[in-house]
Structure 1
Amino acid sequence: MTKMPKIYRDVPSWDGMRTAAIGTGSFADAQSGALFLAEACDELREEGFEALVGPMDGSTWGTYRLQVWSDGSPGFFMEPAGAAHDLATYESAGFEVAELHVSASAQPGSRGYEDAVPGVSVKSWDGKDPQALLSNAYALVMDGFRTTPFFTPVPEPLFLEKYSPLLAQADPRFILKATDDNGATIGLTLAFPDPMRIGAIVLKTYVGSLPGAGRAMADRVHTLAGEHGFKEVVHALMRSGIASEAQSRKFSGTVFRRYALMGRRL
């Protein structure tokens, strides 16, 4: 069953241009999808828009990206999915890659980074007071990702609404907090055992306000994965060219999926 995508007109700018977005959805085939996209381009150009990106449900808080390459291995929870013809659909309508993202797989076990930052302590969440944990996470995420393309600040209640269900299903051992000598929270990590890619720990989100804190937390995730019998750590949905992708290579991450946000100048 096809569900034609929604068009979003209030989205973050792409390269300073007035930008709209094609949301996630499905096309019966590449031909009909390309026709829909071409008509959307014409309509938005007449409205004064300068660029169109997709698939993206409004911002990076919504579902976005399509798969452009896979090694055929199983998917993981919250991974973008779609039809095999999605890429051809966008390319047929004159879209090119606006952003590339990757997911990689690494072996469990420490690489020796957990104690690399003096004064930083990394511990698992005790499972208590999830709202306090998410409030700390909110402040770190809003600051840590503020310069990321297409990132849009959201009110704290919306952030809590999005992450509370995930936290309710999480394994506290893999929710990590990094603190400094004064006990202040300087980093948080969300990782979880994956229900789809059996035997994997998915390292979904980590953010730190002190250089090296993220790497220390990632190292602890890999250590815990090995201690609890998991066979791999998935480095999920990293934007190409930024620190998380470089860090994945430090853990010998092997890319198994590539994704793209597609864009077209109007």
Structure 2
Amino acid sequence: MSLKIKKISPESAEFNRFYNFPKGIYPEDSPKWKVPEDFDFKNLIAIYGVEDENNLLARAALYQNPNLNFQNQPTCSIGNYEAENHPKAAQILIDQVSEDAKKLGAKFLLGPMNGSTWSTYRFAESTNSPFFLEPHYLNYYQKHFLNAGFKSVRNYNSKLVEEIPTDSLEPENELIELQKSLKVNVRPINMTDFAGDLKKLHELVHQAFAHNFLFTPLGKEEFVQKYMSTEKILNQEYTRIAEDEDGNFLAFFFCLDDHLNPAEKRLIIKTIARHPDPKWKGLGQLMGSLLYRKAKKDGYQSIIHALMDEDANSSSISTKFAGKPINRYFLYAKEL
């Protein structure tokens, strides 16, 4: 039976059929449904599907983010990838997306990436012990990408602290003195002016991550709109901001509870950002030590440092706090 490929836009009458395709390949209790799928409509070129008669077998989106480049070359990304375990359909789909990316002038195709690192990206090595907000895909997706000529270009990991240490941390009085000497105030995020804090976080995050792998800028209004949606899931007491005497943001910890595993009181540290000025070196360690002490006092049983670049400083912070790897994630690239 012949397979055919179809290309649609978000305005297409078929968009909902393509959007709902994953419902037919994941079980109802899958972690997949805990987080809505994100499409980066600003950078979206088209959505592709491979069909057998009228049945979708695979689906993906092609993105062209003008600020995204790999090895200093123009780069597109393939994201929102979902497929039956049908290698031929997967090959047809990825080949078509690759061909169209090349026509757009791209020298590389990155994936999986829904437009940028601000959205969902990376495949997990294992899906055996998922946690809240972890990317969740079917295990054979990596094989689809490798068979289509992709190679891993960046590795990430998540680490679990099973017993929250306090004995190895700096004494609490020393932490307080260090905080005073740095002249910083560490406080929870302000939920009564959440948008106001997000606007100031926009500047800090762009300063902290400007030189990160595949970083692309995001406008302030887009940033605020995107992260306003986290209001209901973040842990206010543990999402912490360090600011100087003038109220300038210097460091940030974004934390939430593991809503996927309610049987255990577990905290997830999702994002750590610090101002790049060398004089603030150690501020992340200070905030981490204060957070660990509070978590122990509040009865948390474990902490996950989530989705860290294996080459990034946040991974070394996790190691200091005794985190052990529990999963790895891979981002792939294909030369066109």
2:71 pairs, out of 15, 18, 34, with 15
Tell me the C-alpha RMSD between the 2 structures.
2.1
Letter of the structure 1 residue corresponding to residue 268 of structure 2: V
SS in 2 for 1:123: strand
1:202 lines up with 2:268 in the alignment: yes
Bigger drift between 2-11 and 105-114 goes to 105-114
1:41 lines up with 2:98 in the alignment: yes
Which structure has more relative contact order (CA 8 Å, sep 6+)? It is 1
8 Å CA contact 2:308, 2:315 repeated in 1: yes
Matched ranges for 1:165-180 at <5 A: 165-180=229-244
8 Å CA contact 1:122, 1:216 repeated in 2: no
- Equivalent pairs counted in the alignment come to 264
User: What residue ranges of structure 2 are gaps of 5+ in the alignment?
Assistant: 1-23, 25-56
1:27 lines up with 2:91 in the alignment: no
1:76 lines up with 2:135 in the alignment: no
Q: Partner of 1:129 in structure 2?
A: 193
Q: Output one character per residue of 1:185-211: Cα deviation in whole Å (capped at 9) or x when no partner.
A: 322221111211332101011212121
Question: Aligned partners of 1:207, 1:137: CA distance in 2, in Å?
Answer: 10
Q: Partner of 1:62 in structure 2?
A: 119
Letter of the structure 2 residue corresponding to residue 264 of structure 1: K
Question: Aligned partners of 2:147, 2:83: CA distance in 1, in Å?
Answer: 13
Matched ranges for 1:187-198 at <5 A: 187-198=251-262
The alpha-carbon distance between structure 1 residues 216 and 6, as it changes in their structure 2 partners (threshold 3 A), is same
The alpha-carbon distance between structure 1 residues 88 and 131, as it changes in their structure 2 partners (threshold 3 A), is same
Deviation of 1:91 (Å): 0.7
SS in 1 for 2:305: strand
Deviation of 1:184 (Å): 4.0
1:231 lines up with 2:289 in the alignment: no
Deviation of 1:88 (Å): 0.6
1:6 lines up with 2:61 in the alignment: yes
Question: Aligned partners of 2:136, 2:121: CA distance in 1, in Å?
Answer: 9
Letter of the structure 2 residue corresponding to residue 201 of structure 1: L
8 Å CA contact 1:30, 1:88 repeated in 2: no
Bigger drift between 190-199 and 57-66 goes to 190-199
Q: Percent identity?
A: 23
Q: Partner of 1:108 in structure 2?
A: 164
8 Å CA contact 2:272, 2:314 repeated in 1: no
Bigger drift between 216-225 and 157-166 goes to 216-225
Bigger drift between 16-25 and 29-38 goes to 29-38
8 Å CA contact 1:34, 1:93 repeated in 2: yes
The alpha-carbon distance between structure 1 residues 3 and 163, as it changes in their structure 2 partners (threshold 3 A), is farther
Question: Aligned partners of 2:58, 2:96: CA distance in 1, in Å?
Answer: 17
Deviation of 1:48 (Å): 3.1
Q: Partner of 2:9 in structure 1?
A: none
8 Å CA contact 2:65, 2:116 repeated in 1: no
Letter of the structure 1 residue corresponding to residue 307 of structure 2: L
The alpha-carbon distance between structure 1 residues 181 and 34, as it changes in their structure 2 partners (threshold 3 A), is same
Q: Partner of 1:157 in structure 2?
A: 221
- After TM superposition, the score normalised by the length of structure 1 is 0.90
| Max Rg structure | 2
1:218 pairs, out of 288, 291, 297, with 288
Matched ranges for 1:133-152 at <5 A: 133-152=197-216
Bigger drift between 22-31 and 93-102 goes to 22-31
SS in 1 for 2:92: helix
Letter of the structure 1 residue corresponding to residue 331 of structure 2: L
SS in 2 for 1:150: coil
Letter of the structure 1 residue corresponding to residue 164 of structure 2: P
Letter of the structure 2 residue corresponding to residue 53 of structure 1: L
Q: Partner of 2:310 in structure 1?
A: 240
- After TM superposition, the score normalised by the length of structure 2 is 0.73
